[in-house]
Every structure is written in structure tokens, then in C-alpha cells.
Structure 1
Amino acid sequence: MSHPDSPAGAAEPVAITATEAPAEVVCVASWNADLVSHVARPIARGETLMASAFSISPGGKGSNAAVAAARQGARVALIARIGDDDFGRMGMTLWHAEGVATDHVEHAAGECSGVAQILVYDDGDNSIAVCPGAGSGLGASQVQAAHGVLRSCRVVMASCEVPVEATLQAFRLAREAGAITLLNPAPARPLPEELLALVDVLTPNESELYQLAGAEHSGSLDAAANHLLAGGTGAVLVTLGAAGCRLYQGRQTPIGLAGRSMPVLDTIGAGDTFTGTLAAALARGEPLASAMQWANAAAALSVTRRGAIDGIPARADVAALMSQVAR
């Protein structure tokens, strides 16, 4: 399946309606176009560095995670706000191609879609600056308008790229309906206690975990995770990059899962792939400890290709990797 790598010449978007069956995963989604430059190393303040390559591709943590869930076989719907521009049409084209329902994607007339400026370094690491554009206007009212799909799904996920008011309303409705709430707290920022108490599964990386837990807990994964659990978060699943991940649940013994040695081209979208794959596994009834194995394997595969969308694997590829490890 091909994906647009440029807004030029994008086909007219078509809304996708989930008519055959309700969505299993609903994503309160950020959307932006990724403007990616490849440079040898981080750029110093005031320095100009020549890039070896440049591309424009679909991005946004919410959109990436939604595509990841769809490629794992979940029926996915979006709640999002995009600009009435070529970048917005790029998003609609992508979601149409991936079978993601867009009934609750609002087109903001006269506004620009979000943009992420990404620098990818020779070692595969990256730095990202995001301007949310029309996505900054996503709020509780748009979420409330999607109450039907939220109350019939199994998992509701979001990231910190969308306004907290939208995530709060979505998680309130999800909690009322008995759906699992999944939050990727990236980019890191302070979150209200009410929201953290509505989160069933939190998926921070190490630095995000410490920022949420506070300076007094920095340096100890156990202390930081247990602090968040004490505040009402159901489970904390810390992603550790090449070192794998670690799951904390109440009074249970933490479960660690080792990373996999993979050839790294770039790490863009690895965390989004982890979150979306986790959501899909939970939606099909996998226990959390099993779901994190799927997410860990998918994230490992994602770094072997360039770009967020091209790096997201299909369910069959993830199953094959897990089978190889199991033998």
C-alpha cells in the first residue's frame, strides 16, 4: 500500500464511516505533517548544518498510533481537528487508505494543519519541534459530539499533543462506558490529578515518567512509577528504548521485558507504534502483560525503516518476530 510523501497532488479526501461494526479503538488524535531533515548530528545554537535528505510525510502522535492500531487489525476511529489545507487533505487520504473512520474529524476553515520539524541524526536518534495548528482547537465539545463511538468502543487512547480538555472529556466518557483508557504522556508536561486518575494504562518513556512523578522521584523507575500508581493511575508501562519496557501494576511485582537487537535506521514513531499496537492488543482481549509483548515487538520493527508511517509494521510481521523469539 502506498502512502503520500508530499501534500502536492493529494486526492480529494473521503470520510470513512464505521457502518459494519463499531470502532474498537478510538483515538483522540493529533495530526501534523512531518518535515524531516537528515543531518549528521544535533545542531548547535546559531549553527547551520547541511542536510543530506529531506521529506514530507504524515505524522502526529495520535494519527501514528491510530494507524498502528489499524495495522494490527483493530477497527479504529479518530476524534481530531485538522486544517483546510493540503496537509489536512494528506491526513484524510492516509486515514482513508488505512481504513480509519473519520466521522469525527473536524475541518477548520481558514486554519493550518499542524507541522512537526524533525531532525534525524546518523545514529537514528531525532529531535522534534511541533506546532499543533488547527489541532490546538480540539476541545471537550468535539469529544462530546463523538460520545456514541466513545461509549461503544473497548479502548480510548490519547497523547499530550492534544489539549488536555479533550482528553479529559474522552476519558470521562470512556470510564463511564467501561472502556480502557490509554495515555501516552508525550510530549512531557504537567497533567492534572483528575486526568491521571482516569488513566488505566500510562505509557511514558523514562524522562516523561520522572517529569510526571516529580524531581524527588528522579533516578528510580520504581519510586516514580509507584508514585503515579498511588495517585490513581491504573498501570504504568515505561518504555525504555533499546532496553525494552517495564510494567508496574498496583502491588504486583514489576514485569520487565528486554529490548531486541535491531538495525536502527531512525526512531521516529517508535513510541506511537508501541502505543497503537498496545491499544489494538488490549482491544482484542489480550491481558496487559501479553499486550506489552506485542507492543515491544512492533516498536522494535518500526526502527528498522525510515519514517513514522512506513516504519509501522503489520500484525503478521509482529507475530512472525514474536514467533522467532519464542522458538
Structure 2
Amino acid sequence: MNYNFYLVDDDPSVLSILSKIIVSNNLGDVIGKSSEGEHAIAEIVRLKPDILLVDLLLPKKDGIRVVQEVKGHYPEIPCIMISEVYSKDMVSKAYNSGIELFINKPINVIEVINVIKRVDEKLKMKRVIDSFQTAFQSMQSLKEAVPTAENLKNPKLESARQIFNHLGILSEAGTKDILNMLEFIFEKGDANKRNIFDHKLSDLYDYVSIKYEKEKGELVSEKAIEQRIRRTIGQALGNIAELGLHDYEHHVFEKYASSLFDLREVRKEMDYIKRNSKTRGKISIKKFILGLIEEVN
């Protein structure tokens, strides 16, 4: 596990015990602590922890109100309630506020570890479900997309679309821009030459901009096109890095991590996702386009 925890309890000894249990059992890192609710909420919003542990009975603002307000900012954050109160009404109210599980006082090491492991299992299951939903949405987008005349003439563009589907970016705005850039390259017959980028990227952006204006009357600047493409490739990098963390031998990761990206940058992105680094991996538009051309030729 590699989660960031935030702890809220008005008893300093409880905060100390919980911190030691989390760190010594490699459950993650404690990135913040507070002894009262109001201060805790402001820090939680700023720090965005992965898991919140909060005492039920706090001065001024109790744990239930803390959870309710935190959930207003981050609905998906798992919240674990710490309590020595056994009132059914209070427990029911706590669950209704959005907590996942309870840890009873006095603190028991085994119980804390088991409760956090159960939350970990729920988070992993949610990631699996989300990945299936993303894949399903991409498949639906692929089915619903109407091929253009250019796509019908050039199966290489359809192959590129399949790659975008594998990368989870088929519905991103920059995908259409990239396809239009590929169309320009294929029409000129440059895809079979090693000096494809004798063309400046700005020339390709200009071609796409003019195409939109002529065909649809859309005025899209070259800068806007570049930004959309950069965001889309950045999303692809994040998706491939996430995939590599879950399954380094997955065929999509093995096929595209080095052909479309710099593998060192993929590893940087993986470290960023794992919170081992504050620096994200970088993308190269040229590398991505050249890799695509190699893949579809």
C-alpha cells in the first residue's frame, strides 16, 4: 500500500499511535494531523489525502460534520471513523454521512491494519470497475463514430483510431486533430520517408486549422490545436503509466510504452502516480506522431 493519510483526533496519544501503526506496517504516509474539525477540513481540502481517519467526538465540529464537509469537496475519499461510542443512532448517522468503516477505541493494532486493508480492497475494486467503464465507453465511442471519407479511403487512419481506443483517448478533443495531421502526412506520401518532420509541427497545425475553417467554418487557432494535442497525448501517457503500474506485462503497455513515448518519461509518470515524485513524465508530440506512423504502416 502507498496511501496518504490524514488523521483527526483530539487525543494526541491516539494520533501518535495511529501514525506509528500506519508507518511501521507500510500502510502509507501520514501527511497531516489535527485535533479539531474546522482546522482539519481546511487542511484536508488543501492536501487531498487518499484516506481520512477521524474521531467521532471532536470539540466545536464533530467527526460526522467533518466527514460531510470533506465529502462535499471530495465525494470519493474513504473516511474511517474512530469512536468509543456505541449508540446505534450515532453509528447509523455516521454511516449515513459517508464513512466506510469504524475503528473502536481503545486503539487495537490488528483492527487498524484490518480496517485499512478492507478500505484498500474497496479502492482497488473501484479502480477495476472504473477501468472497465472507461473501456466500455471507449468501445461505444468507437462504434458510434462515423468514419469520414478520408478514413474510408485510408485504413491507416482507422488503425490509428484503434490505437487511440487502446490508449483510452478516443473521445479526447485532440484525437481528431492528430488524425487530421496523419491524413496530411499520408496524402503527401511522407509516411514512407525517414524525414517526415522536415515539416514543422506548426505547418501541420496550420493545415488542420485551415481544414476546419474550409470544411466547417470553424476558426481554431494553431495554438489551440497544439494545446489540445498536448493534453490528449498527456492523457495517453497517464493512462499507459497507470496500466503499467497494475500490469507491467500487459500487451498494450508493452506495445506502446516505448513506441509512442520515451520509456524514461513513462517511468517518471508512474512514480508521480505512486506519489514517489512530484515531477510528471513529459511528452513529445513528434515522438508520438512518428510512433503512430510506424505502428500503422
Q: Higher helix share goes to which structure?
A: 2
Q: Is the shorter-chain TM-score for this pair beyond 0.5, marking a shared fold?
A: no
TM-score, normalising length: structure 1: 0.24
Tell me which of the two structures has the higher relative contact order, counting C-alpha pairs closer than 8 angstroms and 6 or more residues apart: 1
Q: Higher strand share goes to which structure?
A: 1
